[in-house]
Amino acid sequence: MPNRQNQFKKLLKLITDERLRKSSVKRNAGDLLGATESDKGRVVNSASFRRLQHKAQVFPLDPNAAVRTRLTHSIEVSQIGRFLAQKVIEKCGVEKVSYKQLAAFANVVETACLLHDIGNPPFGHLGESAIKEWASSKNSLNLLGDFESFDGNPQGLRLMSFLAGYDEFGLNLTDALLLSTIKYPWSVETQPIDKQRKKIGIYTQDYKNYKRCCKAVGWSKGKVFPVTRLMEAADDIAYSMSDLEDGIEKGIISIDDLAEHFKEFVPSKDEAEERGISSKERFITFKTEIIRESVDEAAGIFVDNLKEVLAGGGGDLISDENKMGGVVKKIKRYARKYIYSDSSAEHIELAGRSVIKGLLKHFERLLDSQKISAELFEALIERDMGRVHQEAENFDFEVRLLGLLPKSYCDHYKMNKRGHESIRRHHLIVDFIAGMTDNYALETFQMLEGIRVN
């Protein structure tokens, strides 16, 4: 037990109130709890977080408000994340650690969970694939390495640390929180050889800020931050349950189907009738038991391997190698087979992929640097029509396309310390499309195609 306590105290030292930019909020020196509460407030009050209410978890554009969106899923993940943090504290048996330190730790886990999906584009993984395919078709530009590896993870870090705020520091979250959200702590250029062809978690433009965060908290670059392990476990547990519940809500599966596959956790129909338990109660019993046991097991694995976790290792907390990890993985496989493949999810996702590719096709005309030089693009953004009309071409359509882009995104494009103009221009377009909600992406595509006129 003393060794656990010592290791846990080392973990707590990584949770600091340092930020990329010194906070403008006047706070007592060393007010770590206040800093982590401020982080949570910045997230839940951000437009990027609110947009998650119109991004699908599994079923895009579903009219049933009981079916989860990325927002409701993220809130559920955060609740499990906080429960997991509390279990870790309990199992470490900490002594002589202040309440504020422990509460700050739980806050960081909870807020990292709130942020875990914030960079996801419209229409989920098929939206990601559409952007990657588009970038791969244009690799002759030799500029698109980040976009060929496009993913919600690096896009989320870009939002948090740059795009979502009024200056170059985004929401200006604490360094520890930013590190807690990075599942894959490398960029295209720094990706380890054994991780090639796998996901990245940091865009090239954002790697400088990542290094600053590591230095500030005393963490090694390229290593998974300990809190990230807890965030990933909470996500695994939450969406294994939520996908089943949404499947039942939509009538794709039934509680009897689950009882057949997960006998150990779901009361049988006969047992339910004997006890007078409804179908809803049967699912709640199943859900509660899975979450409780999975959290307890994941917290135990985290604590038992804390020395390795603090070295940047430790592996997944939800794994087939463990009892409850194996159950969660089995549930995920079941969902892939019976829920994700249902036509109500697949057909709209396939249509969504075409929507994203169509939007990119329309907006890519703004990316032709031979037709639209950096100087002309700036004039278009500024609506300096005197400079625009000096050119031989008519740019009326391009001006209208640019009119759709948020001013804040255009302002961030003009921050030229962020790299070559062409790369910044590509990010501007991808940022806009990736930030769309499912319904706004569909409406914008229909408008540009002439299908919708209001």
155-164, 275-284, 316-325, 406-415: the lowest-pLDDT one = 275-284
Question: Can you tell me the distance from the alpha carbon of 167 to that of 156, in angstroms, rounded to the nearest whole number?
Answer: 17
Condensed to tens digits (0 to 9), the pLDDT of residues 210-243 reads: 999 999 999 999 999 999 999 999 999 998 888 8
SS (H, E, C) 415-445: CHHHCCHHHHHHHHHHHHHHCCCHHHHHHHH
d(CA 43, CA 156): 12
What sign has the CA pseudo-torsion 123, 124, 130, 135? positive
What local confidence, expressed as pLDDT, does residue 56 receive? 74
The whole-number pLDDT of residue 159 equals 96
Residue 247 binned pLDDT confidence (cut-offs 50, 70, 90) = confident
| Highest-confidence segment of 52-61, 290-299, 369-378, 442-451 | 290-299
d(CA 330, CA 427): 38
Asked if residue 60 has pLDDT above 60, the reply is no
Q: Tens digits of per-residue pLDDT, 134-151?
A: 988 875 455 567 888 899
Q: Using the 8-state DSSP alphabet, how is residue 336 labeled?
A: I
The predicted pLDDT at position 229 comes to: 97
Every domain of the chain and the residues it spans: 344-448
43 pLDDT higher than 90: yes
Task: End-to-end CA distance of the chain: give it in Å, rounded.
Answer: 65
Distance CA 189, CA 191 (A): 6
Among 306, 328, 327, 326, smallest CA distance to 315 is for 306
Rounded average pLDDT over 323-334: 91
pLDDT at 267: 81
Phi, psi of 56 (to 5 degrees): -75, 150
Confidence bin at 272 (pLDDT 50/70/90): confident
Highest mean pLDDT among 28-32, 399-403, 433-437: 433-437
- E strands present in 127-193: none
Which two three-digit tokens encode residue 201?
């978690």
| Average pLDDT for the chain | 88
Share of the chain above pLDDT 90, in %: 54
Q: Is the pLDDT of residue 393 over 80?
A: no
Which segment of 65-74, 250-259, 343-352 scores lowest on mean pLDDT?
343-352
Long-range contacts, stretch 5-10, CB < 8 angstroms, 24+ apart: 5/92, 5/93, 5/94, 5/95, 7/92, 7/306, 7/307, 7/310, 8/88, 8/89, 8/92, 8/94, 8/97, 8/303, 8/306, 9/94, 9/97, 10/310
pLDDT at 240: 85
pTM: 0.92
Calculate mean pLDDT across residues 246-250: 83
Q: Which of 360, 362, 400 is nearest to 381 (CA)?
A: 400
pLDDT(195) > 70: no
Residue 43's Cβ-side half-sphere holds a number of Cα atoms within 13 Å equal to 31
Residue 261 burial class via C-beta count within 10 angstroms: exposed 0-12, middle 13-18, buried 19 and up:
middle
Q: What is the pLDDT of residues 81-117, one digit of tens each?
A: 999 999 999 999 887 888 999 999 999 999 999 999 9
pLDDT at residue 270, rounded to an integer: 81
Q: Is the dihedral of CA 159, 415, 420, 357 positive or negative?
A: positive
Q: What is the pLDDT of residue 454?
A: 63
Residue 76 CB-density burial (10 A; 0-12 exposed, 13-18 middle, 19+ buried): buried
Helices 70-92 and 2-13 pack at an angle, to 10 degrees, of: 140
Q: What is the pLDDT of residue 22?
A: 86
User: Which pair of tokens denotes residue 49?
Assistant: 């977080």
pLDDT in tens, 273-305: 888 888 888 888 889 999 999 999 999 999 999
388-397 own/partner pairs: CB under 8 Å, 24+ apart: 397/365
- Dihedral (CA of 269, 273, 277, 280) sign: positive
The answer to whether residue 320 scores a pLDDT higher than 60 is yes
Q: Which pLDDT score, from 0 to 100, does residue 196 have?
A: 59
